[in-house]
Structure 1
């Protein structure tokens, strides 16, 4: 019987008969085909022509023409370890390549199945891979996409075939520019991720990543998202292989370290050099004791007895990094090693705006090259804060049309910056700095809107990045941060401590980085104006940014503190609004800043955003006849960073407070379970501010009864009923609290009016105790309230605890409102 397809098969592609579909992806479909002239089966890889044509608007050199040249060059490669390209053709809207049909399994499938390779097998695979690369590099062809999916192991033979020569460059670069999402950057070299010129050494870096995975079963560079993986490739040292697989000889550590050097000049300079080192190691392995078999249940590679260390030339571990000494060294360190993605992206985004004729197309291309940036920008662009009209923005090009190129330019800078710092060392100092920057940015944008600024988003970004050098330092300064913090803790002023440790101030680093990264524009104006923020010659926009920065610093002392009042006065002069009218705007902005932090993916910083409060009376405990009320719009962490009181007494446990706030902030994604939020608040009130009894009660559907939902310290386990309080017929502490917009501090001492609020039903269930009460609402409709006291130990309440109580409840309020959107 003939093995050829029958003449009745009608589907064709050019001269090829289509047998069956083998797979499909974003680029097109892969078919098994048959060439009737040469009587051979082939693989037909189709590429949608419209994707290639799209490149003409981005490049002077037509991508389709370049693709033809790449395919033609690949067709000249004839090597046992390379999948042969037979033909290139275009038919209608489809471009296709006919290539050798290989019966085998991709290396990625072995990895996905957790297959463990003996070191001998791993080295044999690598030698064939490098043999094929050596041949292609000698023919001046760089693959650019060496990864397990492009390495095929032929069934039953152990032979290796490298796939997709001639297509990889288009796959991973040009089509990304045309709007397709790039795959994982795990296997890409640093120079390729940064868009620099690449040569054969980029393929050798990728081969080194594959070798690491063959030896250990793990990837050397990982992260929670694409940006984090890219950051790891660009900045992190790879793990030591022998620490991941204790059966490996120590020579593997040096080989991997050299193969994965960030600097191409320090890697193996040719595939032949890399291959020679691995061949020497394989010879030594073959001469050692035979390996034990690997069973399907094995969790480690087999032991190989290497009798003595193998001395390999040119395989020294990279030299230990010296810490930066000068300001110039720090700029270089942060630019090249710690924040290369942002510094590179920022320069490209700003350069894209320099040519009015092509800026929209170029900006869209740059953004779409980073899937994480694209996703975050579209999420923000579709939010009410940035898109009040709620016009749907399905892609970057649409966002540019609807929101305007300048707004998207600024939003892209903001997204890229926040992503680069929240993937750094998220310690408390960093979170404080980012929280300050985000809060000041929201205040600045709001003030800019009041003066009809044409581009308030630009003011937002200038304020957000006003302290970016300081944030970068605290993210990545390592030992220098510790030294400065110790000096400050010992009483030294911050600027003096910075000079003593670094030889310069962080403000000077701010200016230097701004110039090095070519941020320019309003960002640079504001940073350079930091020495004299109220200079009369400064523009109104710069003044608004500078005042917002100072205002956020002063809010920790309360909205009616002298410093905050002076800032409000200055804002009033610039906006022509009355200072009193600005109070509610400032307080609303603080709440908005929490939402913006969540939208930027920086929920962890939300607890550090200072929410403005009017200062309470100076006495630590209110007068006996006083009832202290704090508006919900005036919530604050006032006093929250002071030293907590000794255990067992009243006061604030700061570690517990931060932990609870971070837990609640982690629920700010709009998907939180409401009951979980309430339980976390009850837990926080009891643990962080040492309350003996905590009650969360919900209002009944007919709004006549307040019914216990969650409680601690009220002996719920001993009762066979839930607590209920009438809120329709009688006036009590709960109806009083519901009549207020914020937190109430109720002190039932000699004041008859207060005493009457403790009705018989309240006294029966709760007694008559000093307490905090605060309602919670969804879309401005009260649904319940929180109550707490220290009735068991009879310890007085204090202002510090009131602030934290209100802070917890307000965080819960934000959380449940997000969950209901």
Structure 2
């Protein structure tokens, strides 16, 4: 039975933990990564890759002309970070995660109106930020997108009280804020403030939500996005629009007529952005605001395994043709096996100088208690184990508990589990320096010869890249 929230704190907890757990978890992980200077691209990539829907949405948005004007094809999260930059990917991940959480078949008209307003305001704010030479227009975009988060999340909720307040607003003629307080005992703006704290959104997002009257230039840029949208609703000849244009002229120094033209262009652009994020129904409401019909785009079909493998291999080839970053190379190889071969878990480990232990360098798909929980496997099993047995096999091995029981030692069972797996050594001058381990230990689906061949091909690309890197560094 669904819990009925009665207080502001209860509502915030219901929306945070029950209605939007995916966004709640992702948002907190993103901001932990943002706050930790030691964390970088792979940590962020791991957060994204945990959710296939989020990964697909981010890559679709990242390939759009709005965010990727150079039109360099991006097939992996790792390459998206290289091309678009870590900061932009962090902001886009937060935005995509937000849409992933709120967009569903349950969305009604009012919910889509709120989503439309959020996207439109964010687009206007980002455009203004660019005009004002802001240091991070994407941060402004996300702050404006989430500025009315209390309204958006409430109206997208399936809680029965949403229906009650909707009826009260429609039938009583009360102003929205009064209807909210009559039914809930608080305003949705208050809910937004509470959610921003419970989600630990921090930074510009939380500052703009809690201090909209601040004279801070960036906060005012965020809030101006919403003001522009409200002015458009009241009409181009309204007092609200005149005041808005006057303020924009003061901020930018541009002529009023040019500002009006840019606002209209940004409104049209917001329709396209809404569609890129998958908010097709919401895009129609934005379109109605400037009098034009929205061109409905269909969700982009996800590539099949072979197509995805080919695309990722193209990314790897592009990378090793230029200046090779070994971290990026192995991240792309790992992502290629993880997504392209559809493995549940994958691990890249390095061999210690004394050759007695293997330690985790990169991992994807593992459920860990903390980021500091790194895998370490030691070469102290009497007859070897899964990892050290395969480490010295040139071609890698396909191991099964039913056929290689002795290699699944207590150490392996406790750390990796007892799963069918592929293990491929990584070599330098024919000597092993580490390995890549992968399995389907979450879904427990069988592996195939085709899977082994595909994964082995990605590992070969890692070997080629590693060889080219060594050749280039030795020359210099």
Name stretches of at least 5 consecutive residues in structure 1 with no aligned partner: 1-319, 613-634, 638-660, 672-821
Partner of 1:457: 138
Matches of 2:300 and 2:80 in 1, distance apart? 23
Q: CA RMSD in A?
A: 1.9
Aligned: 1:385 with 2:66: yes
* Residue matched to 1:601: 278
1:362 aligns with 43
Report the number of matched residues. 300
Asked if structure 2 preserves the Cα contact closer than 8 Å seen for 1:431 and 1:605, the reply is: yes
Contact 1:587-1:611 within 8 A present in 2 as well: no
| Match of residue 201 from structure 2 | 519
**Which residue does 1:555 correspond to in 2?**
232
Aligned residue runs from structure 1 range 40-55, under 5 A: none
Are 1:488 and 2:164 an aligned pair?
A: no
Shift in alpha-carbon separation, 1:561–1:669, aligned structure 2, 3 A: farther
Give the superposition deviation at 1:485: 2.2
Q: Where do 1:360-439 residues align within 5 Å?
A: 360-423=41-104, 425-439=106-120
Q: Which moved more, 1:376-385 or 1:564-573?
A: 564-573
Q: Of residues 269, 282, 291 in structure 2, which corresponds to 1:636?
A: 291
Which structure 2 segments of 5+ residues have no match?
A: 302-476
User: How far did 1:382 drift?
Assistant: 1.3
1:677-692 pair list within 5 angstroms? none
What does the per-residue CA deviation read over 1:666-722, in whole Å, with 9 as the maximum and x for residues that have no partner? Answer: 445699xxxxxxxxxxxxxxxxxxxxxxxxxxxxxxxxxxxxxxxxxxxxxxxxxxx
Correspondence 1:574 to 2:256? no
CA deviation digits over 1:145-201, x for unaligned, max 9? xxxxxxxxxxxxxxxxxxxxxxxxxxxxxxxxxxxxxxxxxxxxxxxxxxxxxxxxx
Instruction: Give CA deviations for 1:619-654 in whole Å, capped at 9, x if unaligned.
Output: xxxxxxxxxxxxxxxx428xxxxxxxxxxxxxxxxx
**CA offset digits 1:708-747 (Å, max 9, x no partner):** xxxxxxxxxxxxxxxxxxxxxxxxxxxxxxxxxxxxxxxx
CA contact (8 A) 2:27 2:94 kept: yes
- Structure 1 moving runs of 4+ over 6 Å: none
**Cα distance in 2 for residues equivalent to 1:465 and 1:333:** 18
2:139 and 2:261 map into 1 onto residues whose CA distance is 24
Distance in 1, Cα, partners of 2:262 & 2:34: 33
1:589 aligns with 2:266: yes
Matches within 5 A, 1:42-191: none
1:609 aligns to what SS in structure 2?
A: helix
Deviation at 1:542, TM superposition (A): 1.0
**C-alpha separation between the residues in 2 aligned to 1:477 and 1:379?**
28
For 1:497, which of 170, 179, 183 is the aligned residue? 179
- Alignment TM-score, normalising by the size of structure 1: 0.35
Distance 1:668 1:374, change over 3 A: closer
| SS of the residue 2:124 aligns to | helix
Contact 1:345/1:416 (<8 A) preserved: yes
The answer on whether the counterparts of 1:426 and 1:475 sit within 8 Å (CA) in structure 2 is yes
Once residues 572 and 511 of structure 1 are traced to their aligned partners in structure 2, the CA distance between those partners, rounded to angstroms, is 30
Q: Deviations over 1:227-249 (max 9, x none)?
A: xxxxxxxxxxxxxxxxxxxxxxx
Give deviations 1:286-309, integer Å, cap 9, x for gaps: xxxxxxxxxxxxxxxxxxxxxxxx
Partners of 1:322 and 1:431 lie apart in 2 by: 24
| Superposed CA offset, 1:414-442 (max 9, x none) | 00001211126310000000000101111
Post-superposition offset of 1:377: 0.8
Provide, for residues 249-295 of structure 1, a one-character-per-residue CA deviation record: whole Å limited to 9, x for no partner.
xxxxxxxxxxxxxxxxxxxxxxxxxxxxxxxxxxxxxxxxxxxxxxx
Instruction: Note the C-alpha offset of 1:486.
Output: 2.5
In 2, distance between residues paired with 1:364 and 1:481? 36
Is this contact kept in 2: 1:590–1:611, CA < 8 A? no
Equivalence map 1:195-344=2 (5 Å):
320-344=1-25
The aligned residue for residue 467 of structure 2 is none
Q: Indicate the residue corresponding to 2:473 in structure 1.
A: none
Inter-partner Cα distance in structure 1 for 2:282 and 2:192: 21
Tell me the CA shift for residue 611 of structure 1: 5.5
Is the aligned partner of 1:448 residue 2:129? yes
Instruction: List per-residue Cα deviations over 1:342-375 (Å, max 9, x = no partner).
Output: 0111000111111222232211111111111111
Q: Is the 8 A contact 1:325 1:502 kept in 2?
A: yes
* Aligned 8 A contact 2:129 2:140 in 1: yes
Aligned-pair distance for 1:385?
Answer: 0.2
Which structure has the greater CA radius of gyration?
Answer: 1
Contact 2:121-2:229 at 8 Å conserved across structures: yes
CA distance in 2, matches of 1:524, 1:577: 30
Residues 539 and 610 (structure 1), Cα distance of their counterparts in 2 relative to 1, 3 Å cut: farther
The TM-score normalised by the length of structure 2 is: 0.60
Q: After TM superposition, give the deviation of residue 479 of structure 1 in Å.
A: 2.3
Q: Deviations over 1:4-54 (max 9, x none)?
A: xxxxxxxxxxxxxxxxxxxxxxxxxxxxxxxxxxxxxxxxxxxxxxxxxxx
Secondary structure, counterpart of 2:35 in structure 1: coil
1:460-475 pair list within 5 angstroms: 460-475=141-156
